[in-house]
């Protein structure tokens, strides 16, 4: 669920330098010292490419999927971090301690059903890895299990809420079945890459995930990440009528081929992004203010090396140039994102 939140902040942070960002965010989100995180990163020699390749294992048949070396390295990083948090010892995952940590983080009201669902997912996934003897494989498969279960539950929750609120009319049920089918087809497609930003939150998923976050919580997180008022973010969500299903269906945009057909949910989320960009004064009509984005990046990373800065600026310039002739702001944002995804993939 973390990835959904940070899809929405893509424009202001997607092309930042990720190594320092990963370390800083992990330290913050796991309540660890930056030194401890760096020790684990150095010990396991995990890099951005390793994090990106983890996506190859996000599959229905996660318990029998071949594990590549890069993903196993990330698993070892998980182990190191969790051991420093006293959540893991050898191949044993202290699920009960994990639940307590999550209970502290889950501060919203009326979250009982989500806590129950979350605990069930944690128990299920811990049980599935009991027979494994390699600690890196244990935590990796545990993560993959959580990822699959959370994605499935979120879709189920949103579909059931939609049916409950709108009434069980045949036309609406058919629409739900159609979206289920789309989701199933999407999961079966080749998934060659992820947006790098998600790498940060993959790493803290095991102790920071909140399964089935309500839309209100997502709005709170977006407001915090983009340094915007909750009211402004809420206005954009209301204006574009984006819901949890739309956010999850946006995965087609990120996990599929760059040339994949853009679905209705993707376009809705693109309209949401356009609204947020305008409120951040990063977009006027159909014009993306690329120079302002560059300045924001420079301010966030004053110590970036010249090559990194040059690569980021080149991606921005190329992608903003690619959408110059378009007249629909939602399409502009959507194609701009596709371009960034394509360019980031080519940098691997």
* String of DSSP letters for 88-143: EETTEE-HHHHHHHHHHH---SS-HHHHHHHHHHHHHHHHHTTT---HHHHHHHHH
- pLDDT value at residue 13: 39
The confidence band for 48, taking pLDDT boundaries of 50, 70 and 90, is low
CATH no., domain 20-160: 1.10.238.20
**What residue spans in the chain does CATH classification 1.10.238.20 cover?**
20-160, 213-346
Q: How many CB atoms lie within 10 A of CB 127?
A: 11
Mean pLDDT across the chain: 69
Give the DSSP per-residue string, 44-73: HT--HHHHHHGGGG-STTTTTSPPPHHHHH
The confidence band for 235, taking pLDDT boundaries of 50, 70 and 90, is very high
* b/e code 152-168 from CB counts within 10 Å (16+ = b): ebbbebbbeebeeeeee
Q: Measured between alpha carbons, how far is 267 from 270 in angstroms, rounded to an integer?
A: 5
pLDDT at 57 over 50: yes
**Which of the two residues, 57 and 318, has the higher pLDDT score?**
318
The confidence band for 211, taking pLDDT boundaries of 50, 70 and 90, is very low
Q: Measured between alpha carbons, how far is 92 from 254 in angstroms, rounded to an integer?
A: 33
User: For residue range 12-45, what is the model confidence (pLDDT) as tens digits?
Assistant: 333 334 455 667 767 776 778 888 888 988 898 8
> Phi and psi (nearest 5°) for 22?
-60, -50
**Which of the two residues, 221 and 81, has the higher pLDDT score?**
81
Q: What is the DSSP letter of 227?
A: T
Burial of 303 (0-12, 13-18, 19+ CB in 10 A): exposed
Q: How far is CA 301 from CA 87, 200, 296, in A?
A: 33, 17, 9
Q: Is 190 helix (H, G, I), strand (E, B) or coil?
A: coil
**Which of the two residues, 297 and 91, has the higher pLDDT score?**
91
Write the CB contacts of 274 (distance below 8 Å, at least 6 apart in sequence).
283, 329, 330, 332, 333
CATH no., domain 213-346: 1.10.238.20
User: For residue range 83-136, what is the model confidence (pLDDT) as tens digits?
Assistant: 888 888 888 988 888 887 776 655 544 455 567 777 888 888 999 998 899 999
Q: What is the DSSP letter of 8?
A: T
**Which of the two residues, 290 and 201, has the higher pLDDT score?**
290
- pLDDT value at residue 119: 82
**Mean of pLDDT values over 238-257:** 68
- pLDDT value at residue 56: 58
The pTM of the full predicted model, rounded to 2 decimals, is 0.50
Q: How far is CA 265 from CA 235, 271, 272, 304, 330, in A?
A: 18, 10, 11, 35, 12
User: For residue range 179-208, what is the model confidence (pLDDT) as tens digits?
Assistant: 444 444 444 433 333 433 333 333 333 333
């Amino acid at each position: 669920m973390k990835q959904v939140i940070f899809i929405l902040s893509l424009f202001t942070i997607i092309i930042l330098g990720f190594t320092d960002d990963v370390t800083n965010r992990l330290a913050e989100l796991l309540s660890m010292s930056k030194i401890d995180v760096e020790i684990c990163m150095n010990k396991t020699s995990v890099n951005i490419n390793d994090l990106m390749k983890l996506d190859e294992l996000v599959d229905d048949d996660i318990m029998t999927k071949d594990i590549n070396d890069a993903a196993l390295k990330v698993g070892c990083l998980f182990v190191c971090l969790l051991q420093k948090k006293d959540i893991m010892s050898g191949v044993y995952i202290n699920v009960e301690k994990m639940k307590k940590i999550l209970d502290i983080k889950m501060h919203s009201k009326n979250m009982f059903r989500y806590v129950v669902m979350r605990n069930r997912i944690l128990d299920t996934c811990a049980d599935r890895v009991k027979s494994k003897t390699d600690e890196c494989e244990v935590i990796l498969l545990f993560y993959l299990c959580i990822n699959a279960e959370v994605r499935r539950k979120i879709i189920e929750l949103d579909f059931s809420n939609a049916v409950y609120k709108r009434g069980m009319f045949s036309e609406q049920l058919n629409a739900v079945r159609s979206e289920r089918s789309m989701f199933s087809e999407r999961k079966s497609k080749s998934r060659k890459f992820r947006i790098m930003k998600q790498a940060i939150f993959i790493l803290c998923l095991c102790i920071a995930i909140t399964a089935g976050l309500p839309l209100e919580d997502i709005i709170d997180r977006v407001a915090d990440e983009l340094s915007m008022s909750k009211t402004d973010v809420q206005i954009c969500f209301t204006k574009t009528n984006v819901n949890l299903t739309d956010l999850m269906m946006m995965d087609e945009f990120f996990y599929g081929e760059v040339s994949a057909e853009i679905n209705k949910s993707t376009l809705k989320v693109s309209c949401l992004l356009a609204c947020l960009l305008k409120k951040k004064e990063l977009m006027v009509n159909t014009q993306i203010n690329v120079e302002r984005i560059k300045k924001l990046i420079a301010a966030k990373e004053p110590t970036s090396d010249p090559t990194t800065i040059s690569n980021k600026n080149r991606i921005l310039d190329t992608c903003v140039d690619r959408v110059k002739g378009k007249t629909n702001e939602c399409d502009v944002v959507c194609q701009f994102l596709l371009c960034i995804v394509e360019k980031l993939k080519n940098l691997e």
